[in-house]
Amino acid sequence: MFRNPLTIGIDIGHHSIKAVVLRQKKTSLELAAFAEEVLPTSVINEQHSVNVPGLLSAMRKLKKQLPFAARHTVLALPDSAVISKVVQLDSNLSDEETVFAIEQAMSAASPFPVDELRMDFFPVNTDTFAVAGQTRPYQVFAARRETVDSRVDALRKVRLQPKVVELQTHALLWLEQYLAEQLAVEGQWGVVDVGQRRTAFCVNPVGGTAYHRELAFGCEQFAPRSDEPSLEALSPEQMEVFTKQLVDNLKRQLQLYQSTHPRATLQGIWLSGGGQSWVVADIVERMLGLEVRWMHPLASFNRGPKMDAEIEQGSLGQYAVAAGLAIRGGQPT
């Protein structure tokens, strides 16, 4: 899987930077390190712009906690910072014509000029569009250059080598796929990642593209004065109230998903994120009628006794995105 022995997944959030380092050991993955560095509140704003000196300072502190030889890095952008669009193009276009057509399509869809965007695109279901004259759908992702470049430049300044920039949703789905294979979990499952400001709901439906919705509900809305919700215990009564509020926010999104994906009905959901320890799984199962599994991002990798002792501190669900990115780093780009 891995072309390099060590790969770092780095998740730059509003509150902290989280890193997971994986090492390839024959056919398995070994957890080499993980670390988290809390960010000053002024580093990233709601428009996803970065205070580069503040981010760079935190990155230097984080890097000191990682293996010296680790360089190959994958990072993520929030889904809300990325424009996602499917464009229908003639299947007979040359590569240059395809690029031009996509730029024209994005110029109409984006609030920013095309020359201010970083774009990536790929054809969808290419095997079914071989007949001349047919159109072919392309999945296009675009983000502001400043949003991408500021993060990439900060990593390069601490001598890391960013190779891939992914969506946070895709990182969660990479991890979900890996865990399903490791634990022999069958069926269609979604991921609910409970964060401090937001909760992400995503699914990789069979035969379709990644489905993602972001809920304006997180630990901060429930306990605004909590700086580290993943480490702060709630009373059973508080956990029940939090869980019911979470489910109320999820119900509408699940209905929308099922209405648009009737052939990819969910069997269950994985719970991840720093706020997963606040959730009562039995209540979720009863209210939604779905099986629930805890996503322990670091527990599925091989590890030595020292690393065992470190991850026994908790579920460490806040490392889900970083773990998925580290897995993604071993895949072809």
User: Which residue ranges form the domains of the chain, and what is each CATH number?
Assistant: 6-79+149-330 (3.30.420.40), 81-146 (3.30.1490.300)
260 CB-side CA count, 13 A: 13
- In sequence order, the 6+-apart residues with CB closer than 8 A to the CB of 309 are none
SS3 helix, strand, coil % of the chain, rounded to 5?
Answer: 40, 30, 35
CA 225 and chain centroid, separation: 26
Distances (CA, A) of 307 to 30, 268, 302, 303: 10, 30, 9, 6
Residue 317 corresponds to which tokens in the numbers above? 């669900």
Closest CA to 288 of 203, 218, 190, 215: 190
Helix 145-157, helix 52-63: angle, nearest 10: 40
Residue-by-residue pLDDT tens, the chain, 333 positions? 445 589 999 999 888 999 999 998 877 899 999 999 988 877 887 778 888 888 999 999 999 999 998 999 999 999 989 999 889 998 888 889 999 999 999 988 888 899 999 999 988 865 544 454 588 889 999 999 999 999 999 999 999 999 999 999 999 999 999 999 999 999 999 999 999 889 999 999 987 788 999 999 988 877 765 444 444 678 899 999 999 999 999 999 999 999 999 999 999 999 999 899 899 999 999 999 999 999 999 988 988 887 877 777 666 889 999 999 999 987 655
Distances (CA, A) of 182 to 156, 176, 290: 33, 10, 21
Q: Tokens 């300072």 — which residue?
A: 57
As a whole number of angstroms, the distance between CA 231 and CA 209 comes to 34
CA 147 and chain centroid, separation: 16
Report pLDDT for 126. Answer: 53
As a whole number of angstroms, the distance between CA 278 and CA 285 comes to 15
Pairing of strands 135-144, 83-90: antiparallel
Report pLDDT for 244. Answer: 96
Pairing of strands 161-167, 189-194: unpaired
Instruction: Determine the residue type at 22.
Output: L
Degrees, nearest 5: CA angle 9-152-57: 85
CA 30 and chain centroid, separation: 20
Residue 202 corresponds to which tokens in the numbers above? 């995503």
The partner residues of 86 in beta bridges, in order of sequence, read 139
As a whole number of angstroms, the distance between CA 62 and CA 294 comes to 27
Report pLDDT for 314. Answer: 65
Report pLDDT for 230. Answer: 44
Report pLDDT for 41. Answer: 76
Residue 285 dihedral angles phi and psi, to the nearest 5°: -60, -40
The partner residues of 24 in beta bridges, in order of sequence, read 29
Residue 133 corresponds to which tokens in the numbers above? 């004259």
DSSP of 91-136: TT--HHHHHHHHHHHHHHH-SS-GGGEEEEEEESSGGG--STT-EE
The partner residues of 34 in beta bridges, in order of sequence, read 20
Q: Tokens 């969506």 — which residue?
A: 167
